[in-house]
Chain A
Amino acid sequence: MRETYEKLQAQLRIRKPLVVFVFLSGCLFPVQAAFGNPADSSQIPNMFKPVSTPAHSIFHLSLFVLTICAVIFAVVFSLLVYSIVKFRRRPGDDGREPPPIYGSNQVELAWTVIPVLIVLVLFLATARVIHAVQSASKPAEAVEVIAIGHQFWWEFHYPGLGVVTANELHVPVSDPAHPTPTFITLLSADTDHSFWIPQLAGKTDLIPNRVNHTWIDPNETGMFVGQCAQYCGTQHAKMLLRVYVDSPDQFKQWVLAQTQPAQVSDAVNEGRRVFETTACINCHAISGTVADGRFGPDLTHLMSRETIASGAATNTHENLQLWIQNPDAIKPGSLMPAMKLNERDLAAVTAYLETLR
């Protein structure tokens, strides 16, 4: 009898952690559902799935901080629950006042010194990461990019490569043996913006009259999403951002294609004439033509981008036409004016833009 009991107890001892584990994972199910969605997970800008060095270092620091906070929470939470349950007034209480206790220097000292030590540890761990990220030196192979924030889109210059593009940043994947990180200089043409791709790096603001820097060192190819993280005006919400991490060959090809002048096709002369004789050229540039506006995105290789309007719509024929005719239908409050073209001119301009590969 006694043996069976002990056996049972032994089994329970093994099973107990298992039961706790199953229970906890059940509680965490909704969290798992959000974090571990297998379908199209590259679209979830989850900071706990980093693919680049600064995001990696932050991820490791965050696990450390989270662990310490979880321990503090468990201790204080238990103390609170215990004192509420244990010291509740019970039914049939005699109504006498409990003994007054005015304080205790020893206890106060303990719960002052222990938190101070915890803070010290947290600070040292944090300071290490601050310096590792902010004081990183730029290797010779690094790709340089200048990112300029506009209301409400992103302009990207690659000064070493002669590429100008918008909203969709292409960078090479970085091999740990031969790192090719991308160093980004952040500027703003108007108001404050913030450059944030959670899987690649933390955010850094783009502030007018100020030069900021950030860098990424991605070690996985793919497309990673983010968006402006500092309120910059009416359409802050649709100032979306995409970073394509290409293989070295893909990146080389992309750069080659981007450095070509705009394609010329006689079939769309009509559209080009309309484009060059309306207000389009006040804001947009197409290399090799008279269009050299700088207020809006460079359209020389418009069709190489998957989205228009800073990620607000996919780059399809219908969306492009709608965008030219009535930008507010896609992005109300964007600074692109409705061009009010007649149907013929609209079709011609759209056809022209669609040749800009």
Chain B
Amino acid sequence: MASESITLTAVQEMPRPIGSVLHDWVVTVDHKKLGILYILYALVFLVIGGIEATIMRIQLIVPHNSFVSPQVFNRMFTMHGTTMIFFAAMPILFGFGNYLIPLMIGARDMAFPRLNAWSFWLTAFGGLLLYFSFVGANGLYGAGNAPDVGWFAYAPLTSRAFSVGHSTDFWTLGLLVSGFGSIGTAINILTTIVCMRCPGMTLGKMPLLVWLNLVMAAMVLLAISPLTAAQIMLSLDRFLGAHFFDTQAGGSAVMWMHFFWIFGHPEVYVLVIPAFAFVSEIIPVFSRKPIFGYPVMVAATIAIGFVGFSVWAHHMFTVGMNPYANSFFTITTMVIGVPTGIKIFNWIGTMWGGKIHFATPMLFCIAFLFQFLIAGLTGIMLAASPFDWQLGNSYFVVAHFHYVIVGAILFALFGAFYYWFPKMSGKMYNERLGKLHFWFFLIGFHLTFDSMHIPGLLGMPRRIYTYEPGRGWDIWNLICTIGVFFQILGTAVFVGNLLWSLFKGKAAGNDPWDAWTLEWSTSSPPVEYNFAEIPVVRSRRPLWDIKHPEDPDWQYE
């Protein structure tokens, strides 16, 4: 019977010397340990990227400020963007995927455990390589260090003529190396989901998190390849005198934009789809209802995956494309709004008629819903290409994508942290500190990113290290910077809560949320082999079936 096969008692481990424990972590091929390594590594870079953002916001607190030089400011926004996308957001999401997917599909590990370790260490060393530029490279200015070409590194600013020294090479190689890591992880996730599901778990019975990660992994595989190709071409330009993007020798600056954004826009969905995945697991549990419209949610995700590859040139509405191209990318971008809208409605449908319990993970998910709604609507405004001729590359765009990346993705991630922390650590976090973190971060987020829209509407372009007084931008920049300090406070509470709970938290038990997916059936933290016996499932909520044998899901699905 299913019910016996998935209960398991915790195994007591003997205490071991610290050196041996560390050695274990370095050579591990266990998906859970690698997942946690990914997450910790990404948290370090999240803090570094946050410090870079804080430096920028302090510089912009008043016009004509001289907190940092333009050279330093330009490095800060380049490193902030690159770090947050490639070395904070992606690894943290891969980490959760790595940790959760095998547990949720009833597998003992990923399909390729060694490839998994290899991918992690490639990503890790890619990040170290990028940051080595602070000591090992020269910037545009000829002196100093880190890359300062912007995170999308438009040609020909990256050519030898404009970027002397090696800062751009560190950027290129860092992303190339971590890109191979991402490709490895994508292959691994795809194979695991396709081949390693436990008996009874047909595609239609997979938890939504698994489905969404399947789509994400497929997108990574397709999107990282053009980026990798572009990085190789750029390296050829810089070292072997090729002229792909060298406009002084007849190369094309616009071709780099196409290469970058056909990676860059799907990348947004690579980041946001796992965030959707967290929300799709957390909202049902805290509303005490199954997800509303499961097949439609899957279909909407796949639709986003496909249409997401045909919208990239909406980043290029101002480069002088012809009206037909502008119209095409306007309609495709607007169409993306339909499946994402369907998702929001289904999450509301899930809460509708439920009994919503406002624990910290749920609070973050509710904030996610509001903020993702606004991010989506400003996205519609930007999709209308003539409106984008005004809004593009202004602070409005900066506000819009931070609404997506912070307001939606980071909020969902915080929710995921609180939701799965008891499973990963075996300890319960402090609920009161969790709520404090939520409110600090919510206030900080809105102070910073709501006010950031307005200077954009008043003509403030992005990536400027200082601005003229008297343009109506001053007050908004001031409010924007004040919000940063609330976010720092919130993050400090978050880190403090995790550390405190890790050592002093109450034991969480196997299933603190009374949840329904397989990871909650094993011990917290799970043993190395996850399940003593491979579980057998009959519905999307196997634990519901066990807890409610009188009214199991499989009778209705």
Contact = CB atoms under 8 A, between A and B. Distances in A.
A, B from the same assembly? yes
Interface of A: 30-31, 33-35, 37, 40, 43-48, 54-55, 57-58, 61-62, 65-66, 68-69, 72-73, 76-77, 79-80, 83-84, 87-89, 93, 97-104, 107-108, 111-112, 115-116, 119, 122-123, 125-127, 129-131, 133-135, 151, 186, 190-192, 194, 196, 198, 201-205, 207-210, 212-213, 225-238, 240, 332-333
A65 B387 contact: yes
A58 B471 contact: no
Q: Which secondary structure dominates chain A's binding surface?
A: mixed
A57 B386 CA distance: 9
A84 B334 contact: no
B404 to A, nearest CB: 16
Given A80-B348, A192-B253, A234-B70, A210 B320 contact: yes
A77 B373 contact: yes
Closest 10 CB pairs of A and B: A202-B389, A45-B459, A237-B464, A103-B293, A208-B247, A212-B320, A229-B461, A198-B459, A89-B355, A134-B323
Interface in B420-449: none
A346 to B, nearest CB: 25
A203 B331 CA distance: 21
A202 B386 contact: yes
Given A100-B290, A108-B296, A207-B253, 4 more contacts: A65-B381, A101-B352, A119-B337, A229-B318
B472 A34 contact: yes
Given A134-B322, A213-B320, A84 B157 contact: no
Contacts of B254: 207, 210
B202 interface: no
20 contacts: A30-B475, A76-B345, A76-B348, A76-B373, A77-B370, A84-B366, A87-B351, A87-B354, A89-B357, A98-B289, A104-B293, A119-B334, A130-B330, A134-B322, A192-B154, A202-B388, A202-B390, A231-B463, A333-B70, A333-B141
A115 B468 contact: no
Interface of B: 69-71, 74, 140-141, 148, 150, 154, 156-157, 162, 247-248, 250-254, 287-290, 292-296, 318-320, 322-323, 326-327, 330-331, 334-335, 337-338, 341-342, 344-346, 348-349, 351-358, 366, 369-370, 373-374, 377-378, 380-381, 384-394, 454, 457-459, 461-468, 470-472, 475-476, 548, 553, 556-557
Contacts of B150: 231
- Residue among B154, B320, B346 with the most chain A CB within 10 A? B320
Contacts of B290: 100-102
Contacts of B353: 87, 98-99, 101
A194 B352 contact: no
Contacts of B377: 69, 72-73
A61 B157 contact: no
Given A123-B330, A210-B253, A203 B356 contact: no
Contact of A232 (B157, B247, B386): B157
B459 A84 contact: no
A65 to B, nearest CB: 5
A76 B334 contact: no
A1 to B, nearest CB: 43
B306 to A, nearest CB: 16
Contact of B330 (A46, A77, A99, A127): A127
B380 A65 contact: yes
Given A46-B457, A99-B353, A204-B320, A236 B464 contact: yes
Contacts of B366: 80, 84
A93 B288 CA distance: 13
A213 B141 CA distance: 31
B318 A237 contact: no
A84 B292 CA distance: 16
Contacts of A186: 320
Nearest to B287: A87
Contact of B466 (A93, A126, A237): A237
A207 B389 CA distance: 16
B523 to A, nearest CB: 25
Nearest to B463: A231
Contacts of A83: 348, 351-352, 356
A44 B471 contact: yes
A101 to B, nearest CB: 6
B69 A332 contact: yes
A130 B323 contact: yes
B338 A58 contact: no
A119 B338 contact: yes
Contacts of A202: 318, 386, 388-390, 392
A231 B288 CA distance: 49
Given A30-B475, A87-B351, A231-B463, A130 B381 contact: no
A47 B385 CA distance: 15
A315 B233 CA distance: 45
Contacts of A333: 69-71, 141
A123 B355 contact: no
A61 B384 contact: yes
Given A69-B381, A100-B290, A34 B458 contact: yes
B24 to A, nearest CB: 41
A93 B465 CA distance: 55
A78 to B, nearest CB: 11
A51 to B, nearest CB: 13
Contacts of A234: 70-71, 74, 140-141, 148
- Residue among A57, A135, A234 with the most chain B CB within 10 A? A234
Contact of B393 (A43, A115, A194): A194
Contacts of B148: 234
B393 A98 contact: no
Nearest to A79: B348
A202 B457 CA distance: 12
Contact of B355 (A43, A98, A107): A98
Contacts of B548: 97
B458 A204 contact: no
Nearest to A59: B390
- Residue among B247, B386, B388, B548 with the most chain A CB within 10 A? B386
A195 to B, nearest CB: 9
A212 B254 CA distance: 12
A293 B198 CA distance: 74
A102 B351 contact: no
Contacts of A111: 341-342, 345
A205 B319 contact: yes
Nearest to B161: A190
A77 B371 CA distance: 10
Contact of A208 (B248, B374, B393): B248
Contacts of A237: 70, 463-467
Nearest to B373: A76
A59 to B, nearest CB: 9
B211 to A, nearest CB: 15
B493 to A, nearest CB: 24
Contacts of A130: 323, 326-327, 330, 385-386
A122 B384 contact: yes
Contacts of B296: 103, 108
Given A62-B381, A127-B330, A194 B248 contact: no
A185 to B, nearest CB: 11
Contacts of A76: 344-345, 348, 373
A203 B289 contact: no
Given A45-B459, A207-B254, A103 B289 contact: no
A194 B385 CA distance: 16
Contacts of A77: 370, 373
A192 B463 CA distance: 14
A121 B290 CA distance: 35
Contact of B334 (A33, A123, A191, A196): A123
Contact of B358 (A47, A88, A116, A227): A88
A203 B456 CA distance: 13
B471 A332 contact: no
B335 A119 contact: yes
Contacts of B288: 97-98
